[in-house]
A and B are shown apart, each in its own frame.
Chain A
Amino acid sequence: MKMKITLVLLAAGALCAVQQAQAHHAFAAEYDVAKPVTLSGTLTRMEWVNPHGWIYMDTKEPDGTVKHWTVETSGPSQMSRRGLKKTDFVDGMPLQVKGYQGIKDQAHANGRTLVLTDGRSFYIGSVGGPNDGADK
């Protein structure tokens, strides 16, 4: 019986260790904290959806080509609490997004800060991102 209890406790401990290591998996699994990006361009579409929203925007590359970005945001609940509204996003409007680039997809980013043309700035990052002060 003691043996069994020990086995069960060991298994539970191993599970907890895995849990700890993956506590911030959501960000690290897809985005590279070593690749911060600042994107200035125009909004092509905004998906104000759960569990995470999506900003689709076009930026001009130095060589003149247009790059189509997909930027992940937090969900409607978190964005609402930061004062953002679905109606703040109008297709074709200029905007600036700061965030981190994706590991695999070069036109994919995790949004941290959104700056609108009227000067208002919002935190659009989700839980588990780097401690870069964007949420302050």
Chain B
Amino acid sequence: MPSIVPALEWLEGLAWTTAVRESAWGYPILETAHVASIVAFAGLVIMMDLRLVGLAFTYAPMTQIQRRLFPWQMAGLVPSTATGLLLCCIDPLRYYRNVFFWVKLVLFTLAGLNALAFHLKTYRMAERWDEDPHVTATARRAGAVSLVLWSATIISGRLIAYNWFG
């Protein structure tokens, strides 16, 4: 199997990735934007999840909360993913060799699949239990799983900063 390393070395050697990697301002701004948009995204996802598990907004219809939060969640997800991809581009080998980076990617994918499954299947039948403070067990589980997976994604993302395993 051909290694991806030469491609990553090429990416790392580009003028613009090198410039951001060595910059006094570009990198701090990029990283701050990444974290700020994650905070906005995660906060809004947590509120949706708390409704699903029955801890918050229990007497407001579930679909209404979803409709109101969803565009704002995407307004957090799009810039956080874009800045995340940029951060990968400017220091690709560092992330390639970091175990927490791969853990984060796996958790991010799982959290995304959980959200997708909820929207495509469980949420389709939401009218039946919309006004009910206690949503169906499947939806409640989706909320709990979402809370755990997104938290774990953020924690492993933070741990990328530590060189514990080389």
Partners in one complex: yes
**Minimum CB–CB distance for A2 against chain B, Å:** 13
A51/B161 in contact, CB under 8 A: yes
Indicate which residue in B24, B27, B55, B164 contacts A51 across the interface (CB closer than 8 Å): B27
Q: A30 — which chain B residues lie within 8 A by C-beta? A: 162-163
Indicate which residue in B21, B31, B163 contacts A49 across the interface (CB closer than 8 Å): B21
The answer, yes or no, to whether B13 is at the interface (CB within 8 Å) is no
Measured CA separation A48–B31 after assembly (Å): 17
**Minimum CB–CB distance for B3 against chain A, Å:** 22
Name the residue of chain B whose CB is nearest to the CB of A76. B24
What 1/0 mask marks residues of chain B from 20 to 62 whose CB sits below 8 Å from any chain A CB? 1111110110010000000000000000000000010000000
Indicate the size class of the contact surface on chain A.
10 to 19
A51/B163 in contact, CB under 8 A: no
B55/A50 in contact, CB under 8 A: no
Measured CA separation A26–B158 after assembly (Å): 11
Indicate which residue in A8, A26, A48 contacts B22 across the interface (CB closer than 8 Å): A48
A77/B28 in contact, CB under 8 A: yes
The answer, yes or no, to whether A94 is at the interface (CB within 8 Å) is no
Q: B25 — which chain A residues lie within 8 A by C-beta? A: 77
The answer, yes or no, to whether A75 is at the interface (CB within 8 Å) is yes
B21/A50 in contact, CB under 8 A: yes
